[in-house]
Chains A and B, each alone.
Chain A
Amino acid sequence: MRRILPGFPLTLGFSVVYLTLIVLIPFAALAAKAFSGSWLHLWAVVTSPRVVASYELSFGAALAASLINGLFGFITAWVLTRYRFPGRRILDGLVDLPFALPTAVAGIALTALYAPNGWVGALLAKIGITAAFNRLGIVLALVFIGFPFVVRTLQPVLVALSEEVEEAAALLGATRLQTFRRVIFPAALPALLTGIALSFGRAVGEYGSIVFISGNIPYKTEITPLLIVSKLEEYDYQGAAGIGLVMLLASLGILALINTVQWWNARRIHPAH
């Protein structure tokens, strides 16, 4: 095939070499290391009770946080796209703060805030809630980390929703709540699910913001990425690689899920004839 524009071999060649060096070879090393010893040992490592407890925590906390983000992300996206009030543009810009703020900074800031002697933590302590150095603290950090995903995937969809469709529903007698439930929500649902899944995916692998607030107690508040770091510090490379591989496969699964949601949505609105 003849290509009209120049630079095809150069740009593609460079991209492929770059990605091979930075991504493919290192990830092949991960797989190689995981399977380098006995398979039985690998299985024993990735299914040991302490590791399984960390999966449950990482996935459970990520799920809780992404659902909270689904709710508040929807409300925030709605308020930012539909209402006008002073300071709206600044709030809109600040939505991305968790993307821009280094996770370590987020970690110590949230800890300072929600620890029993912190600004908010002291208030919560009065009503008997401890919000740091336990699972609740982990969820709080993950809510912070995942918040922008839901808002940023929903906003364009809520902007693009045709106002006429909402007017049509109102003219046909739907109350505002019915219009929301039957017209707006179904249209925004795929974006909401995508946002929740993205926030979930990010939360499962999060490390920096959690290590400060979680307390890192084995079986209780020890997340999977932290366990990988511990294995490396014990020079158990195969163990670290094994757990890493499990997490990588989980992330792949989440990615496949997101693609499925998008495919399902495309089919729902534009089914094949």
Chain B
Amino acid sequence: MSIRVEALSKKFAGHAAVQDASIEVGTGKLVALLGPSGSGKTTLLRLIAGLEFPDSGRVFFHGEEVTHKNAYERRAGFVFQHYALFQHLSVFDNIAFGLEVRPRATRPHRNEIRERVHCLLQLVQLEAFAKRFPSQLSGGQRQRVALARALAIEPRVLLLDEPFGALDAKVRKELRAWLRRFHDETHITSLFVTHDQEEAFEVADEVVILNHGHIQQIGAPGLLQREPANAFVHDFLGLDFQI
């Protein structure tokens, strides 16, 4: 399942958050949106998810236009920066939520829901925590619950907003490696937002660099470092040799 974005623009109260952005994420790829804060990377992710709607431009999932579809119809799995877990529901119920709100006709049987939630708990290595509440988990555990919850609806693509932003340095490193392994196993087309270039370069197949709502350069980590397209990319990546 690929993602294609064509000339997407979005303004908030006169301020251009994203301008004329075009990206293509190939099936099974893991791509990072990298940029300083206020560069429009989160807005771009929300436009792709259907949480915002563009002023102009189009969004395609695997060749099918989804620009005018609402968030759920696009079936994108979304992991929020601060996880946005349902505080009053247990870990189990958080993950089962997306299955339980389906209309009766397509809702899986109760036993099947239980089975699928347990599979997901296993996948994110939280089997022992099914009955806990979000407030009883560490940051890294919450992050994985949020991921399992997003995966429960069998999303066509996975979108992650600063997935490691709220974690401390050690957990962050572990989770980073875990996400890469996880992606290699599932091959689900994924796009994640980060402001940390080390993170982007270590995890992603391809990196999209944004600044002031404009895409500066797209390429594999090695290419970006070898051939920065402009002075911003050069400075932002902290490259200490001359172009």
A, B co-complexed:
yes
Q: Which residues of B contact A102 (CB under 8 A)?
A: none
Report B81 CB to chain A, min CB distance, Å: 8
Across the interface, A168 reaches (CB within 8 A) one of B80, B88, B135, namely B80
Binary interface profile of B, 38-67, with partner A (CB < 8 Å = 1, else 0)?
A: 000000000001110000000000000000
Across the interface, A175 reaches (CB within 8 A) one of B98, B101, B133, namely B101
Q: How far is the CA of A170 from the CA of B46 in the complex (A)?
A: 13
Of B5-13, B71-79, B122-130, B226-234, the one with at least 4 CB within 8 A of chain A: B71-79
Interface range on chain B (Cβ under 8 Å from partner): 20 to 34
Q: How far is the CA of A213 from the CA of B102 in the complex (A)?
A: 50
A interface, by DSSP: helix, strand, loop or mixed? helix
B interface, by DSSP: helix, strand, loop or mixed? loop
Binary interface profile of A, 175-203, with partner B (CB < 8 Å = 1, else 0)?
A: 10010001100110000000000000000
Q: How far is the CA of A175 from the CA of B103 in the complex (A)?
A: 10
Residue pair B49, A186 in contact (C-beta under 8 Å): no
B136 at interface (Cβ–Cβ under 8 A)?
Answer: yes
Given known contacts A164-B84, A165-B86, A268-B88, A174 and B135 CB-to-CB distance under 8 angstroms: no
Report B154 CB to chain A, min CB distance, Å: 11
Across the interface, A269 reaches (CB within 8 A) one of B51, B77, B88, namely B88
Give the number of residues in A that approach B within 8 Å (Cβ atoms): 22
Residue pair B84, A168 in contact (C-beta under 8 Å): yes
B179 at interface (Cβ–Cβ under 8 A)?
Answer: no
Report B203 CB to chain A, min CB distance, Å: 23
Q: Which residues of A contact B150 (CB under 8 A)?
A: 171-172
Given known contacts A167-B51, A172-B97, A183 and B86 CB-to-CB distance under 8 angstroms: yes
Closest B residue by C-beta to A179: B101
Most buried by B among A165, A178, A187: A165
Q: Which residues of A contact B101 (CB under 8 A)?
A: 169, 172-175, 178, 182
Residue pair A172, B88 in contact (C-beta under 8 Å): no
Report A166 CB to chain B, min CB distance, Å: 9
Residue pair B78, A273 in contact (C-beta under 8 Å): no
A162 at interface (Cβ–Cβ under 8 A)?
Answer: yes
Q: Which residues of B contact A167 (CB under 8 A)?
A: 51, 71, 78, 80, 84
Contacts of B114-144 to chain A: CB distance below 8 A:
133, 135-136
Q: Which residues of B contact A183 (CB under 8 A)?
A: 86
Across the interface, A173 reaches (CB within 8 A) one of B49, B85, B153, namely B153
Q: How far is the CA of A220 from the CA of B16 in the complex (A)?
A: 67
A86 at interface (Cβ–Cβ under 8 A)?
Answer: no
Q: Which residues of B contact A162 (CB under 8 A)?
A: 82, 84
Contacts of B155-194 to chain A: CB distance below 8 A:
none
Given known contacts A168-B80, A172-B97, A271-B136, A187 and B88 CB-to-CB distance under 8 angstroms: yes
Q: How far is the CA of A235 from the CA of B74 in the complex (A)?
A: 76
Report A228 CB to chain B, min CB distance, Å: 42
Report A265 CB to chain B, min CB distance, Å: 9
B87 at interface (Cβ–Cβ under 8 A)?
Answer: yes
Residue pair B72, A269 in contact (C-beta under 8 Å): no
Q: Which residues of A contact B51 (CB under 8 A)?
A: 167, 171
B215 at interface (Cβ–Cβ under 8 A)?
Answer: no
A89 at interface (Cβ–Cβ under 8 A)?
Answer: no
B152 at interface (Cβ–Cβ under 8 A)?
Answer: yes
Q: How far is the CA of A29 from the CA of B97 in the complex (A)?
A: 57
Binary interface profile of A, 72-98, with partner B (CB < 8 Å = 1, else 0)?
A: 000000000000000000000000000
Given known contacts A164-B80, A182-B101, A269-B135, A173 and B88 CB-to-CB distance under 8 angstroms: no
Closest A residue by C-beta to B76: A171
Report A189 CB to chain B, min CB distance, Å: 9
Most buried by B among A162, A167, A171: A171
Closest A residue by C-beta to B135: A270
Q: Which residues of B contact A273 (CB under 8 A)?
A: 136
Across the interface, A171 reaches (CB within 8 A) one of B78, B82, B87, B135, namely B78
Q: Which residues of A contact B97 (CB under 8 A)?
A: 169, 172, 174, 182
Closest A residue by C-beta to B96: A172
**A residues in contact (CB < 8 Å) with B:** 162, 164-165, 167-175, 178, 182-183, 186-187, 268-271, 273
For this complex, 10 residue pairs linking A to B, each with C-beta atoms less than 8 Å apart, are A162-B84, A164-B82, A167-B80, A168-B86, A169-B97, A171-B78, A172-B72, A172-B97, A172-B98, A172-B150
